[in-house]
Structure 1
């Protein structure tokens, strides 16, 4: 882990999040599309995940002692690839291949193609179930590794998610940390308008989880929440509900009417990069 620790100490988490946002925009420009609204919103979560909370070896993505970090929301792959590049698991030279034939970075995350991609998340609502199985297996092997599952608020409308939540508490999976990206958007509109899961924190608590609900675009708050989740005593599974803002960091995109798929015009990709470059963190 020495190399990973060194990478984490040399660059601020805010700069890591900025780098992830920038890479996601660059990949979106390659195809002229992509779920960049979600990528910009979840960048802070991914920065704290990969450069503070998660144990891994960039040079050995299959290292047995690693924490398993699942992307349940397969269409967020553009953000996840940006984080994998920033972490040194994927080479940045491949950025221009995003979504191309024979690329290791298909537009929806596929475990069979991409180093560091722990599951194929095209069918939404299954990630937490997979995470429960993985966490149970690691627990029975007496492994100290954690399983992280990054999922969306829309997936909370799936019955399988709550079956998995119940099973995780029943099996006392203290090695499971679920992260819910709550941006209040899904394919048909606002998540709270389709099938509201509120109050989400109270529901997870009722299912027996250690629950935190935070501002998912505040780096210091994210660090504290991940630390609390890892260090929580007892055998309860843990969940961090992250309220995030779609298109965070690019004001002209933040201000337009937000939908599940944010359209970026051909001339706006470079404009978005220029806006990010005006606010480069240390």
Structure 2
């Protein structure tokens, strides 16, 4: 594979991954979507299909890593670092393109969801509280510029309980599981060549979401979180609030540490 093939393969695959993954979250979160309030199972299944689609469209060009944690793990395990910068650059750019396409596809829904004062606050906007006095209509204030807004979850992850140690540990554990499977499949040429390995990875991503996604939203992929978070920061969304940069390092560092840990375990055992 040439460097250009690897770069464009990772751009394409990660764009598809992010488009379908963030897209299912948009469908569940944004009002007037036909999938509104479909729930966590729909989101985890959607992300599994997103991994499957991204892996299949990019596999022949780049190997379909789609994830710097996977790229790093393979490099640590194999000792081959030649294409790591190209792969990671393609993954980040692809994630940003995919997030941008979600905004395009759901443009009207974003505007509708964010236009009225009643949409702000509640569980989706930490710190924003509704008030209702006697004879008053309940109102919610728009999020402050530095606090997470009501649609940030479409683009990036956030913990249900903010505890740095727990949040980081969750991302490390979940990514270690993912990497052990990816590297294990790499030992089986039949699975890798037939494409069954990509299907198995997608199913494990669904399993990780169902089993370990509750605390943090299971980024398990640095660019899946960072790329869309950058797009959220740049998009002209009304009353969007902040992009929660104080948390943003956890879904980047956690998966990278999990990638190295998974590669170390795999290399030691196999």
Larger Rg: 2
- TM-score interval, normalised by the smaller of the two chains: under 0.3
Q: Structure 2 length normalisation: TM-score?
A: 0.24
Looking at secondary structure, tell me which structure has more helix per residue.
Answer: 2
Higher relative CO (Cα under 8 Å, sequence separation at least 6) belongs to 2
